[in-house]
Amino acid sequence: MRDCDFCGIVRGEQPAQIVYETGTVLAFLPLNAVAPGHTLVIPRLHTPDFLSCPAPLAGALSAAAAHVGRAVRAAVAADGMNLITSAGAAASQTVFHLHVHLVPRWDGDALGRLWPLPSAATSGPDAAVAGQIRRSLASLTPP
């Protein structure tokens, strides 16, 4: 897509600190990193979000995220890592090209706990919602 910044990085038209690339994926450091080593892994093919991603591409993206994640963890001596992706504006997605955030974490870092948030806590799994999800899955084509 011509107006997508991440597609511009893929085409070499936008500058980026690229750390890994294959014919299918690209990994680079974001402009506004939340921690040293914070890295984005994207498919080269413009895909709006993970819900739109074809299964083979999702597999390649996942494998690349794990591979790059291991390298990031070693490079910055992280104690842990969050892998985060969002689908839609309601989920805080601001760039509508699928991307996985690899966010290195350290014990006691300033980012704190991401979840569960005390105000969002539930009383446990909801059987009705589980049933709705199972019915929705039955109507979808398997990956």
CB 24 within 8 A of CB 43: yes
| pLDDT band at 126; cut points 50, 70, 90 | confident
Cβ-based neighbours of 84, under 8 Å, separated by 6 or more? 100, 101, 103
- Segment 40-54, tens digit of pLDDT: 999 999 999 999 999
Residue tagged active-site, from 38, 46, 67, 99? 99
Mean pLDDT of 122-141: 81
pLDDT at 34: 93
The residue that leads in pLDDT, 143 or 104, is 104
Specify burial of residue 20 (Cβ count, 10 A radius: 0-12, 13-18, 19+): middle
CB 90 within 8 A of CB 72: no
- The domain ranges of the chain are 5-115
Mean pLDDT of 68-92: 96
pLDDT at 128: 83
What does the alpha-carbon distance between residue 130 and residue 133 come to, in Å, rounded to a whole number?
Answer: 5
- Segment 54-65, tens digit of pLDDT: 999 999 999 999
Active site residue 67: no
pLDDT at 85: 97
- Give the mean pLDDT of the chain: 92
Q: Does the domain formed by 5-115 have CATH 3.40.50.150?
A: no
